Chains A and B, each alone.
Chain A
Amino acid sequence: MEDYLSALIGGTLLGGAALFLRLALGYPLGISGFLSKAVSFRLALADWRWSFLAGMLAAAIALVWIYPQSISEPLGVELWLVAVAALLVGGGARIAGGCTSGHSLCGMGNLDVDSVVATVIFILSGVLTVFLMEGGLQ
């Protein structure tokens, strides 16, 4: 029960933050897009996006004290798998033009067909990956 309540509160914060950014700055919220502008030396394009990322980092540091349980879980797979997964997530998001925030939240919230398609593929390929890693049909 508590899990569902946290989910609803968390989802409200996520939707609220994305809506606020869209109305206050005029842009949809997309973490991989912001990171892409930050790491690709397009510094002028990054502008306020740096502040957004700084806000996320400030919250990440605050969480160490105010809600450590939410960030303390080990990743649970070997280091080489962590590296491969991260390359796939980063590269895939850039190639797909967005990640879970840009496509699954703002894109679907904007009723963009490409974002609905992206979300379905994200989930289906994630489901298949977990299925295979957990032993598949054995």
Chain B
Amino acid sequence: MKRNLYAFLAGATFAFGLAVSGMSRPSKVRGFLDFFGDWDITLLFVLGPAVGIYLLGTRLAARLYPKRFARQSDPEPLNARFFVGCLLFGVGWGMVGLCPGPAMVILGQGSVPVFLFFGFLLLGIFLADRALERFSGGR
């Protein structure tokens, strides 16, 4: 029960973070990706503290409680499958300016395009999951 409460709070905080940071505005994300046009660098100021807090926090916890919070890592193999997946993701991200978290956060907009995006997002995850299961044992 406690775990569910913590997860709920983390999910809500994360969603508010996406909204406040501007990540839930497609034009903002596409502006960040528009290196050769009117490049908007503000999203770097989202990534910086986010990664920094996570990095410092996990390191500090690992130092204070080495047994409980030891660093864990389960890296993806850097093979063709991985590179293709990253490339497909980046192309889709650039096309609309939405990644999975923000796509959930803007569901309250209640518009057809937003529901369509979220539906096809789930479909894409589901299909890729089935394909991986079939051809490479789930990885």
Interface residues of chain A, those whose CB is within 8 Å of chain B, are: 3-4, 6-25, 29, 31-32, 35-36, 39-40, 47-64, 67, 70-77, 79, 81-101, 104-106, 108-115, 117-118, 121-131, 133-134
Contacts and interface: CB of A to CB of B under 8 A. Distances in A.
B3 A48 contact: yes
A74 B139 CA distance: 35
Interface in B84-125: 84-101, 103-109, 111-114, 116-125
Contact of A59 (B11, B27, B71): B11
Given A14-B21, A93-B89, A93-B100, A59 B16 contact: yes
Contacts of B139: 97
Contacts of A55: 7-15
A94 B54 contact: no
A133 B10 CA distance: 36
B49 A11 contact: yes
Nearest to B8: A55
Minimum-distance CB pairs A-B, first 5: A10-B21, A90-B124, A55-B11, A125-B90, A95-B85
Given A25-B3, A39-B125, A91-B125, A52 B48 contact: no
Nearest to A42: B129
B108 A39 contact: no
Contacts of B55: 108-111
Interface of B: 3-27, 30, 33-37, 42-43, 45-55, 57-58, 61, 69, 71-73, 75-78, 81-101, 103-109, 111-114, 116-130, 132, 139
A122 B99 CA distance: 11
Contacts of A32: 100, 125
A24 B36 CA distance: 42
A90 B2 CA distance: 30
Given A52-B10, A94-B125, A11 B108 contact: no
A98 B47 CA distance: 16
Contacts of B17: 10-14, 16-17
A52 B10 CA distance: 7
A96 B85 contact: yes
Contacts of A7: 21-22, 42-43, 45-46
A116 B18 CA distance: 21
21 contacts: A10-B22, A13-B20, A16-B13, A32-B100, A32-B125, A55-B10, A59-B14, A75-B96, A86-B116, A89-B92, A89-B93, A93-B89, A96-B88, A97-B139, A114-B76, A126-B33, A126-B90, A127-B34, A128-B94, A129-B94, A129-B95
